[in-house]
Structure 1
Amino acid sequence: MITVSHLQESLSIGYVTATAAAARINLSIKREHDYGVDGTFLAMAQRLQGIDADGNEEYRYVESGTKIDFQLKCTTNWEFRGANVAWKAKAQTYNDLVSRPAYAPLLLVLMCLPKDANDWLSATEQQLILKHCCYYAELTGPTLANENSSKLIEIPRANLLTPDAVLTLLSEMETKLAGMF
């Protein structure tokens, strides 16, 4: 039997994997060594490969080069505060998130699970239900000097991690990068 934290990690990876698949993008997850980045969303581009015998265009897909790194967290210690989801991040996590340059941000992806582990996942022939969901945020600000402290993070509930949201984030990143060069 795996630990509760490994179970939570696996469920959050499952959520992100399913979301990336539905967005039809590539996903790199679980680096060989942990240096604060848990995964990367990688945008795809369609390239004309040629014309088939019937005169139809044939395409292949390649990574476009646009990417967004993310730090994946999973917790039962969260709450709704009006239009936001509130969660306390440890200083090390917070500092990792805010210390990246603007051209290469580190997105927080926060999986919010119910308090009761029996409510986390249910499966039937018709559906697989994983409760609750993931939210995302790009955090900015000064780092915390005290590594033993924490920072209350409030993420807008509108920042629900969905396939469309991931595609929008990648499109915004592409636009941001194009304006820098």
Structure 2
Amino acid sequence: MMEQLQEGYVSSVAATAGCSAEVLSKDTFGVDVQFIRPPRTHLEQESMLFAQLKCTTQVTPDRNAKSFQYRFSKREYFESLAMARSYPQKILIVMTVPVEQLEWTKVVDGGLLVRRECYWVHLEGQTSPLVKPVIDVPTENVFDAETLIRIMERQDRGESLDG
């Protein structure tokens, strides 16, 4: 159910950003979803970004802290994000949810509220000696439509996604 909630979240963000989120039905090289932004004109090509999705009840981010820690359950997941890529880039999207499933969403006047947000991080070039690597996820890296647009624009310009 956590996976389904996160897929809905990232699909909603992608739609708001003018992109599609193609959820992959099987784990393909550590990629769970590919975001595709259509070309602006017929003379340009589409943009694509890969993401690995992780959802956890083990962390409640403190918005006043600079980051929170996320531990991978398998080293391979970390390694697929840390390896150098030319195009498309790959990011990790971590969603934190309350332990109680009925607290994940709430209907409010005018819409549906998702109780927690997703955060993103670009891990290319990072290393870890741990079997189950632990990473810092910046709390300022909230994954929303404006952020997705900025990430894709940076990638298209050939800029680093780090900073």
TM score, norm. by length of structure 2: 0.83
Q: Once the 2 structures are TM-superposed, how far is the Cα of residue 168 of structure 1 from its aligned partner?
A: 0.1
Q: Indicate how the Cα distance of structure 1 residues 63 and 150 shifts in structure 2: closer, same or farther if over 3 A, else same.
A: farther
Distance (whole Å) between structure 1 residues aligned to residue 17 and residue 158 of structure 2? 20
Which among 74, 78, 84 is matched to residue 55 of structure 2? 74
Moved over 6 A (4+): none
Q: Once the 2 structures are TM-superposed, how far is the Cα of residue 101 of structure 1 from its aligned partner?
A: 1.9
Q: Who is 1:110 aligned against?
A: 94
- Decide whether the 8 Å contact of 1:67 with 1:170 is kept in 2: yes
Structure 2, gaps ≥5 residues long: none
Higher strand proportion: 1
Is 1:35 matched with 2:17? no
Structure 1, gaps ≥5 residues long: 1-6, 49-61
Matching residue's letter, 1:14? G
Q: Once the 2 structures are TM-superposed, how far is the Cα of residue 115 of structure 1 from its aligned partner?
A: 2.4
Q: Who is 1:26 aligned against?
A: 20
Residues 76-110 of structure 1 show CA distances to partners (whole Å, capped at 9, x for unaligned) of: 11243621122111312111111242544321011
Q: Who is 1:59 aligned against?
A: none
Residues 30-74 of structure 1 show CA distances to partners (whole Å, capped at 9, x for unaligned) of: 2455331111111222337xxxxxxxxxxxxx9833211010111
Distance (whole Å) between structure 2 residues aligned to residue 109 and residue 9 of structure 1? 12
Q: Who is 1:168 aligned against?
A: 150
TM score, norm. by length of structure 1: 0.75
**Mean CA deviation greater in 81-90 or 7-16:** 81-90
Matching residue's letter, 1:139? L
Q: Once the 2 structures are TM-superposed, how far is the Cα of residue 125 of structure 1 from its aligned partner?
A: 6.1
Matching residue's letter, 2:155? M
Distance (whole Å) between structure 2 residues aligned to residue 80 and residue 65 of structure 1? 34
Question: Paired residues, what number?
Answer: 156
Question: RMSD across aligned C-alpha pairs, in angstroms?
Answer: 2.4
Matching residue's letter, 2:112? L
Percent identity at matched positions?
A: 22
Structure with higher Rg: it is 1
